[in-house]
Amino acid sequence: MTRHTPSRRGLVGAMTSGAAVLAAGAAPAAGQARPAADALPQAVMRNPLTQHPKPPFPKQQQPWPGLASRMNPRPDHGEESYKGTGRLVGRKALITGGDSGIGRAAAIAYAREGADVAINYLPAEESDAREVVQLIRAAGRKAVAIPGDITSEAFCGQLIDRAVRELGGLDILVNNAAKQGSQPSILDITTEQFDQTLKTNLYALFWITKAAAPHLRPGAAIINTASVVAYDPPENLLDYSATKAGIVNFTKCLAKQLAARGVRVNAVAPGPFWTPLQPSGGQDPQKLPQFGADTPMGRPGQPAELAAVYVTLASQESSYATGQVYAATGGSGGP
């Protein structure tokens, strides 16, 4: 059971406030009359158990890093559903792994909330990235596409330099890109796999954040993507789980360092989410058709279901939330 601390209650309150804004639209300016309740659009209420596809899914495999466009069913990143209310107007965001999965959902939501967005991705993910760029521009915001391998320290510095230059600054950093490889035993994990997992998930987090920190002004936000496996590691994700636990502690420590500068640092710890990580080596192909079936909700999450979380943690509504880890796990595990 999750133990709620005062700061966690503050975060939940912020989340609730954000959900209300999403449902009802932006609040009226001072002096304006609030519209009557019957004049507002009715909030849609749906059963979360049946809101998105449930297992079994078709058997499928892709080479790393995988493409959302080749998944069956195709993930929902909020392309049709996310509606912005101006919560991030004028903000400038960089999202690693922004071509697909959770990063793509955050990129779409940020743009529709009024932010200009830069996304980083591997060159092999170019086709997915082009779709995201089009969606950002369709929202009327500036899109910056920066392909490259974040396991290179030199590239991580170049990534920040280019994002700052082309966006005209930086005040939201989402460290989201990850490497995940399923292996049944430590004996099956090669040094090459271990090295790639740590460099993608931890070294790049360190290099990118270190390069970005001097550019972040008071009010800026850093959001790191951790995972439920930081708290409940499955036997087949030894190296990946170790990095996600590291991200949790990195987040909590950095939040203390940057608090005096007015920069907030938080993490999101998702449960099983339907992203290209899964069919491109992140799960045993034989078990993938039942992915997410063992959660209380009986299905994996869709990236769109995390978009509002990333928006709220980036917005001024969460001004007292730092060093926190927000879980969305379908009812199992979590901080």
Q: What is the phi-psi region of residue 9: left when phi exceeds 0, alpha when psi lies from -120 to 50, beta otherwise?
A: alpha
Q: Which of 110, 231, 240, 326 is catalytic?
A: 240
Furthest CA-CA distance within the chain: 67
Q: Please state, in angstroms and rounded to a whole number, the distance separating the CA atoms of residues 127 and 137.
A: 16
User: pLDDT band at residue 333, thresholds of 50, 70 and 90?
Assistant: confident
Instruction: For 107-144, write each residue's pLDDT tens digit.
Output: 999 999 999 999 999 999 999 999 999 999 999 999 99
Q: Please state, in angstroms and rounded to a whole number, the distance separating the CA atoms of residues 323 and 319.
A: 12
Mean model confidence pLDDT for the chain: 90
**In this predicted model, which residue has the larger pLDDT, 333 or 60?**
60
Q: What pLDDT sits at residue 11?
A: 39
Instruction: For 269-308, write each residue's pLDDT tens digit.
Output: 999 999 999 999 999 999 999 999 999 999 999 999 999 9
The reported pTM is 0.87
All structural domains of the chain, each given as residue ranges with its CATH number in brackets, are: 60-328 (3.40.50.720)
Does 240 qualify as catalytic in the annotation?
yes
Question: What are phi and psi for residue 270, nearest 5 degrees?
Answer: -75, 155
Q: Please state, in angstroms and rounded to a whole number, the distance separating the CA atoms of residues 215 and 67.
A: 32
Q: What pLDDT sits at residue 33?
A: 55
Q: Please state, in angstroms and rounded to a whole number, the distance separating the CA atoms of residues 270 and 288.
A: 17
Kindly tell me if the per-residue pLDDT of 18 is higher than 70.
Answer: no
State which H helix or E strand residue 211 sits in.
Answer: helix 204-212
